[in-house]
Structure 1
């Protein structure tokens, strides 16, 4: 049976039912019912389950959700603080003024909220930037490599129990202490204006007593290469490749070392006669088989090895003598060597010899002859001369000897080869630090050599080498003290680096700055010529960080550096160790003021007060002390708290002022005296001594007893400084609280008659009313909580 037949029968049944029974007529056919069901199903499935559940829940409670939704959409809620609509022209004046007043209030509220939001956002970002800068500085201080970003993670603090009977040991090892004493002696000579000694030479002599041959060799190499007549005042990096002294000194150093080596092989008897020394060395070194390929001889000995080793040990006159003995055919070459040694140049003869080298000698089997021609004439600068140069010292000597004065490009290429082409891996620097260090120093890469030592566990020597070279004026310092230990400046000649001396010294001295403070100050004094990004002197900045880091409770470091504080006694108090650095650039009083300003900027007012007092600036000392005292004067007294410390300081200042040991402006002195009275008032208030507290408060003349006293108190308050004004709200609350306490104590009293009781109660109510009137008449905005508290306390008396 198909669907059409089924539909027809259903319609017939419907007609029969209509005819036989009086039933309501069906308004929809089956097709219409099917279509309506499909539409309803599609709407239900498209809506979310939450909407369906909401319809069912609200429908069960008799709520028509669609109709409710239409009502809610019809509502037009006005936003909070939306300006009132402008009234029409026919509105009366009162309504217009009311709307204007409401609009003005709303605009003030909106502007205030906007300003507060902007201020909070600005302070948040300033605080965040400051925090990140401190964290960045801490991380950069831990970087000890040029690019590896190695961070020295500090261990977590551990609880250590110290035996008070055990004497405090020094943080410096015996070697470090010897270094520190030598540096202190150098600073003393410098501050006295005496002749400045060569600190590199001083340290080089000092290290010979350590018993370490490698260390002695490294220091002697640094001392030999950096021999300059006087400290350099120009940028060392810019001038290094232009100055021939470093090349000449490096060559001389290598020649002296090789001469010592030759003497150890053939005996010290020939050390005074280079001619005999070279002959004996060549005889010892070359056997009959080893002379194969050597083209020229002198008395059965190879000629060119004798010439080469004469030059290698710095005996050019011996080389000339050997060539003269060899015959007249070598006279031209001997003359060129003599001219070179004397600093003269014979261009014609050298040109002829260069042609001779290109035509014959370049392909000769005598490696020593080729090496000598290249050394003297500068031929084939890229030739390695591997048959002659067996060690790194030989290689460097040949390369340096081939450089001509002022050849900055050739000097730079040699530096790039040692630092970048070969590098630490080629020299096995992790196991042979001294070898690579000497190679870097000999080619004038002082900064990279010092960084190598600092990175390989020899920071104590690296620090003192850096300080000595800095005092000599040959160390390339970083552009900014916030840069990594070793940095590259794109404006510098390649491949020179810059060393951050500030970071190196501070990392070294921070280990013992609290235990050996005097020695640490001597190290920080070496940074006196450097500035931080804000233009502050790094010596003063380091001292400031040391004082701030010690904390306000620990005054031992402060007393050690700046001396003990002044007392009300007549005797003089000796100064601290900082006075040994007194000079035209660093006067103790001026330095104390500068450090105090930095401490104020950091928010460390307690130490700043001490330094201002030390500098004799008593106005600023007492002014900042008033700021500190105003923040804690209303707190309850507790032993060991900041308020207790400031209370003792206030008593000390009072004694000094009474003894006329301090000259302070009257306004600052008046503020201090008023804060001290309030300090005693709050002490009595917290102790429950209400009568004495009120007597103390009446001495200040700040709070009224009657409404007639309000104007007088307002006049007094308007003359106060900002520090005292900040305390006024707390004083008013305390005065109202005392009034309420006395009111509650009198109210149930039976000791006086009813009239007397009412008079006293009324007197207290009048005082409370006067305090409320004073709060309402203040020339500045009172805190909301203060006004609320005053109203609550006053209402409790009615």
Structure 2
């Protein structure tokens, strides 16, 4: 076919003439190959082909796709809540105000979201921190060993079934009761402002009646060492290292004790004076085999053993007599002791004697002479004197006798030696607890000694009362915070002294019997009156508060026992409670009741807080709490034993003694109280009486003309009343529907006012529905649905 023929056929096609198109013959193999090629081209350049197809499709409809893309790109990509900025200088006023309005709305939304996020985050962390603090306190309270050790709990819980009618049995043993009675008598004197006795001596006298000689020795030691002239006013730890009384009393105790031991050895042959006693004791102690090297050549007798034991039993004058009898060789040494007793310091004489000790006596075979020289001259402090000091008492006495007034560093070194270098293992403290306690107490480490005793159940009671007695004397070094472990080390204290957390020790001891022996528990808590918790509250009040709060939501036995039962009179007085005996200018029953009420509100126990505020005379707070509870229960049907029934009783008691109450708080309370009576009548199926009570509140309109005034009054109501209002509306229409149905069914009297009464009921229903629709608060869906349903049923 030539080109002219092709041109002619093309023209025919353009002109619409019918002509046959050339046919193309392809085999199936060629068609398959063409399909595969087209598929491969489309998959490789799918995006371009799709764009081409889009152009063809939109172009067939008259849409120019390139121009459309340009228009879309020119649109602003501003974020949804991004402020609108008027950048154009020729913007008109309406556009500018519109932008400003939108910006103000967006800024309010953004600030609200930010504040909500910050508030939620703050509350979350406060709750988390509070939870962790409570858990930490619980874990620390479970530790009764040293601060760095954990207790191994192996005992399993034992379940006991008690008769609820039986009164609780005391958890205190006879010994603990005697301690508690003595503490109670002491606290009574403190409350009355009478002179206080020496509490350590009082407890020491009680301990004698227990028949345990080791316990009596511990109390006697503590009474002797703590005979301070006046209570300490500053930090006890710092003063203890500076006051010489503790060292002097510890030394005197060891000397008196050894003198008693000498009398027991000698018996009746010792005579009455110290001179004869010492001669008899030394002659019995040393046989002919043991005097080798001890006989003084100047006087021909056991001079230095006599001098040493004279000093050991505290008879310095007898030691001077023995030295003077020895002649001129000991005259200078005797004069030094005389001057020392008179308070005169002869430095030259001491220097000569120290030189004499270093040159001759240090290497002497007479161990007693070396010991006497070291004691008097305070030289060679590292010497152990093992041949002389056969017991721990001898060792401690020598170390204490070598100390000089104001030498705090040597005193600290001795304490470190006992507590850290030797420690519990050296003294076999588990089997000889009394020995280790006495060693610590004699070296002025009362806190570590008490903590050691408190680890075991058998000695915990004694440790607690020792700590209380020392605290009352101002001798005990207390912890910086009541939240710290039982025994702590403060970096500002001289080593190795510790601090004892008295609050934790007493609470661990008292929590076992605070429910069964509440009167005794309060007296133990009263000893913490001088301490404050982490929030600055008095620890005595904090412990009483914790006791009441933890007693349970509905358990009023502890409540009535501590604060007394409320009297049903107008003055709001209470009966005699246990706390009344502690009333003083610093705190009384009313103040404490108010503090406990605040804590109960913080924990969400509004019912108990209401009663405590009533006792405290804080009627504004009492009305606020009862209003919160009434808002939750006022619409419920009355039933015996429920919260609503208990609140009804509280309302009757509060009405008798409401004075000096804020008008707004009182108005809210009165409205809720009237609504409480309204729902009582409603549930008792007394519609007319219920409507009469509701009319007094002026909350619900009787006709459409009163809707606006009622809606305006709603804006002045508190949240508690508004919360109850939907239920009040539903109850009102329920009552109206009941009256309407009674009239319709002929149960009511049909008189000339029949139609008027029906109309009045419909009018009230319409007014209530209109009020629900125009209220500035969102009504619950169920209440709205019920209101509409009841209104329709009355037409």
Distance 1:159 1:379 in 2: 64
SS of equivalent residue, structure 2 residue 137 = helix
Partner of 1:767: 764
Partner of 1:377: 377
Partner of 2:8: none
Distance 1:26 1:772 in 2: 78
Deviation of the 1:666 alpha carbon: 4.8
Q: In the alignment, does 2:331 pair up with 1:331?
A: yes
Q: Is the 8 A contact 1:283 1:301 kept in 2?
A: no
* Equivalent residues in 2 for 1:405-424, closer than 5 Å: 405-424=405-424
Q: In the alignment, does 2:116 pair up with 1:119?
A: no
Instruction: Structure 1 unaligned segments of length 5 or more: list them.
Output: 1-20, 43-73
Partner of 2:191: 191
Partner of 2:616: 615
Deviation of the 1:675 alpha carbon: 1.5
Instruction: Structure 2 unaligned segments of length 5 or more: list them.
Output: 1-25, 45-71
Distance 1:216 1:563 in 2: 40
Taking a change above 3 Å as real, the CA distance of residues 433 and 732 of structure 1, as seen in their structure-2 partners, is same
Partner of 1:309: 309
Partner of 1:10: none
Distance 1:579 1:785 in 2: 53
SS of equivalent residue, structure 2 residue 209 = helix
Q: Is the 8 A contact 1:263 1:271 kept in 2?
A: no
* Equivalent residues in 2 for 1:136-155, closer than 5 Å: 136-150=136-150
Q: Is the 8 A contact 1:486 1:498 kept in 2?
A: yes
Taking a change above 3 Å as real, the CA distance of residues 341 and 98 of structure 1, as seen in their structure-2 partners, is closer
Deviation of the 1:616 alpha carbon: 3.2
* Equivalent residues in 2 for 1:627-776, closer than 5 Å: 627-654=628-655, 656-657=656-657, 664-739=661-736, 763-776=760-773
- Post-superposition CA distance 1:206-227 (Å, at most 9, x none): 1011000110011111111111
Partner of 2:490: 489
Moved more, 347-356 or 708-717: 708-717
Distance 2:155 2:322 in 1: 67
Distance 2:726 2:128 in 1: 32
Distance 1:513 1:219 in 2: 26
Q: Is the 8 A contact 1:740 1:793 kept in 2?
A: no
Q: Is the 8 A contact 1:254 1:393 kept in 2?
A: yes
SS of equivalent residue, structure 2 residue 550 = helix
Partner of 1:532: 533
Partner of 1:200: 200
RMSD over aligned Cα, in angstroms? 3.9
Taking a change above 3 Å as real, the CA distance of residues 22 and 784 of structure 1, as seen in their structure-2 partners, is closer
* Equivalent residues in 2 for 1:207-286, closer than 5 Å: 207-268=207-268, 270=270, 272-286=272-286
Partner of 1:55: none
- Post-superposition CA distance 1:49-69 (Å, at most 9, x none): xxxxxxxxxxxxxxxxxxxxx
Moved more, 513-522 or 724-733: 724-733
Taking a change above 3 Å as real, the CA distance of residues 719 and 28 of structure 1, as seen in their structure-2 partners, is closer
Deviation of the 1:118 alpha carbon: 3.5
Distance 1:355 1:280 in 2: 34
Q: Is the 8 A contact 1:310 1:318 kept in 2?
A: yes
Distance 1:104 1:753 in 2: 62
Deviation of the 1:417 alpha carbon: 0.8
TM-score by length of structure 2 reads 0.84
TM-score by length of structure 1 reads 0.83
SS of equivalent residue, structure 2 residue 412 = helix
Taking a change above 3 Å as real, the CA distance of residues 154 and 683 of structure 1, as seen in their structure-2 partners, is farther
Q: Is the 8 A contact 1:266 1:280 kept in 2?
A: yes
Q: Is the 8 A contact 2:145 2:151 kept in 1?
A: no
Distance 2:746 2:85 in 1: 61
Distance 1:235 1:399 in 2: 26
Moved more, 329-338 or 87-96: 87-96
Deviation of the 1:143 alpha carbon: 1.7
Q: Is the 8 A contact 1:521 1:543 kept in 2?
A: yes
Distance 2:676 2:152 in 1: 48
Distance 2:279 2:679 in 1: 98
- Post-superposition CA distance 1:315-353 (Å, at most 9, x none): 111111111111111011111122223332221211110
Taking a change above 3 Å as real, the CA distance of residues 295 and 117 of structure 1, as seen in their structure-2 partners, is same
Distance 1:580 1:724 in 2: 42
Distance 2:368 2:211 in 1: 38
Taking a change above 3 Å as real, the CA distance of residues 320 and 704 of structure 1, as seen in their structure-2 partners, is same
Total equivalences in the alignment: 739
Taking a change above 3 Å as real, the CA distance of residues 241 and 716 of structure 1, as seen in their structure-2 partners, is same
Distance 1:237 1:593 in 2: 36
Moved more, 620-629 or 373-382: 620-629
Deviation of the 1:705 alpha carbon: 1.8
Q: Is the 8 A contact 2:726 2:779 kept in 1?
A: yes
Partner of 2:53: none
Partner of 1:320: 320
- Post-superposition CA distance 1:641-669 (Å, at most 9, x none): 22221111112223x14xxx856455444
Q: In the alignment, does 2:565 pair up with 1:564?
A: yes
